[in-house]
Amino acid sequence: MSREMTPIQIIGLKSHLQTTVRALRAFGYVHIEDLAGLPEISAHALTLDQETARAQEELSLLLARINGLIDALNGPVSQKTLPLPDNYIDEARAGVNELAPYLKDLLLQKEKLEAELASLPRFEATLRKLLPILPSSAQKAGNRSIGILISRDHMDVLDHISKRALELTHGRADVVSTDIDSSTRAMLIVFPEAFTQEIETMLGRENISRLRLPEELGDGSPDTALATLYHRMTAIPAEIAEINRKVVALSEQWSKKLSAWRAALQDEVEASSVFLKFGETDTSFILAGWVPTDQFEALKTTLRDIPTGSAFVEVLTLTPELKKRAPVVLQNPMIAKPFESLINMLALPRYGHVDPTRLMAFFLPLFFGMILGDVGYGTLALLISLGLLRRFKEGMTRDILLVLAMGSAWAILFGFLFGEAFGTLGEQLGLHPLWFDRANPGNVMGLLLMTIGIGAAHITLGLVIGVWEAIKDKSRSHLLERGGMLLGLIGLFLLVSILANLMPQGFKTISIAFVIVGVVMLGASLGSLGIIMGPIEFLTLIGNILSYLRIAAIGLASVFLAKVANEMAGLVGNVVVGVILAVLIHALNLTLGMFSPTIHSLRLHYVEFFRKFYEGGGRRYEPFKSRL
């Protein structure tokens, strides 16, 4: 069932807006609606004053900077929230201003070193090509070397540059060249440093691509630059490692603080976004929403604690349109709680409509147990699910494991009723059925009829609930549809009972009339196509009931697969190989026995059962409160 909610409107003075919002957030039970979606309340959207708007922008910017620092540190995000002082925003701002420049400098150094390390091999190849042709003059003090790279398609340019270099230096320059690759040729000009300006001017005028080495390699000759390059290639990884060590140290020092600041600021920013849902008059603010009925008096007390006359709450009239917007929070006993996750996978029920959680909590494990129906498999499935529960403390996975554990317990019970333990192995161990042996060919028809009866009862229950829901909602179409199905189904049950000689023949006319009237009602709910679709929908209803035969079919498939596994040991000549094969088949059967009954039991609920009454589309209850 869902918790009863009360629609409310809170009106307060703008001068106490922040105080009221903080009080509501601390109270933690008010689901705030967007006034834009509530035509019942006429008010302009709230416009924040400049100071509040600027404070929000600053918080968002600070949060963005903290997120950037956490990403840059790349350390484990702390899941434990540190206690924060009241002035944590000032503390966070000071911490970010202290950490950000230092970390940025470290990361820039690292980026520069990584870029240098990536580029050095390219220069190494070029310099190594120049070494064999390096003139001895390159080693003389006072000489300078300049490298030139040029495409082989412009070889004539090299001759021109060579002549010009000799002319400018009066023959005191040495010019050598070599191929770098199939498309590029390099030239090295060695000349006295006194002619640097003339050579540089000439190269600039010719628009020649220079061999520019990183600053770290200097302006020396190729052999000197190559030696420096090798030294840098050895030193850079160590420098990067040192920077990484400093970053790790920063991460250890700051991660917990940054995580705590981020969590608090995210909560603060999310809280400030609620203002977008408010309305205003000249001097007042207005908000509307929902509060659990059992918390309404506590809300009034909370607002009274704010300065007198600054805010008050009133109950809104729960109109049909407003009721459609009511948020839903499911309330079920502990044993049914895990099944809420399965309901949420489909859709939340609409407010005021039937919550099927408890129905599913009873029928789904029962169906699971009937399908698996084996003491051995049920015990193993129960142990596995309970074992995995220790690893999952919350969430949907834990809920599914709890559902599996309940179904396994039912499987053990039905295992005793059917006399099964790892299939036919139970009989050899002295286990006898307390009810009947479903693997016995003489009992198969009875098993099929039993599952059809269970399906008929399940579908009928869904239709009864559906009719009740239609009456509450005053929905004529749903009443005709579900009532027609129910009446036709009752007539069909009577006909089957008469044919089985369980009821007098005198009821035949009544039963046929029930079927006809039911199909007519069903057709009337479908409009102009009802004369065709009515009978088809009724046949679909019968198909829904027959779908429950899967309970018997899947269970029998599991029994016979277990029987094959048990007989495998005797069929194979080698006992060890036979036992291994039997264990593998049993393991496969156990895996199928854990997943298949769950899936098919869910299908019987989602497709066959829920469609007869379930009204989804409920809105999740999201109270305005701190997430910390």
* Under 8 Å between Cβ of 271 and 18: no
Mean pLDDT of the chain: 87
Backbone dihedral angles phi then psi of residue 180, each to the nearest 5 degrees? -90, -45
**Is residue 401 within 8 Å of 385, Cβ to Cβ?**
yes
Lowest mean per-residue pLDDT among 69-78, 271-280, 331-340, 494-503: 69-78
Question: Does residue 182 register a pLDDT over 80?
Answer: no
Indicate the SS3 state at residue 298: helix
* DSSP assignment letter at 221: -
Confidence of residue 443 (pLDDT cuts 50, 70, 90): very high
Helix (H) or strand (E) holding 509: helix 508-524
> Does residue 80 surpass a pLDDT of 60?
no
Among 23-27, 606-610, 613-617, which range has the highest average pLDDT?
A: 606-610
Predicted local confidence at residue 206, as pLDDT: 65
Q: Are strands 327-328 and 619-620 parallel, antiparallel or unpaired?
A: parallel
Instruction: Estimate to the nearest angstrom the gap between the alpha carbon of 602 and the chain centroid.
Output: 21
The least confident of 85-94, 191-200, 367-376 is 191-200
Domain boundaries, the chain: 135-220, 331-439+557-612
* 181 DSSP 8-state letter: S
Do 344 and 40 touch, CB atoms closer than 8 A? no
Residue pLDDT, tens place only, 385-423: 999 998 988 889 999 999 999 999 999 999 999 999 998
Report which of residues 295 and 527 the model is more confident about.
295
According to the CATH classification, is domain 135-220 in 3.40.50.1000?
A: no
Q: Return the half-sphere exposure (C-beta side, CA atoms, 13 A cut-off) of residue 583.
A: 6
Angstrom CA distances, 514 to 464, 510, 534, 539, stand at 16, 6, 14, 15
Beta carbons of 402 and 364 less than 8 angstroms apart? no
Residues 6 or more apart from 421 whose CB is under 8 A from it?
A: 374, 375, 376, 415, 429, 431
217-263 confidence digits (pLDDT tens): 666 667 777 787 788 888 889 989 999 999 999 988 898 889 889 98
pLDDT of residue 613: 92
The helix or strand, by DSSP H or E, that contains position 12, with its residue range, turns out to be strand 5-13
- Chain centre distance of CA 438: 42
Q: Considering the entire predicted model, what is its pTM?
A: 0.74
Beta strands in 159-317 (DSSP E): 174-179, 184-192, 279-280, 284-292, 311-315
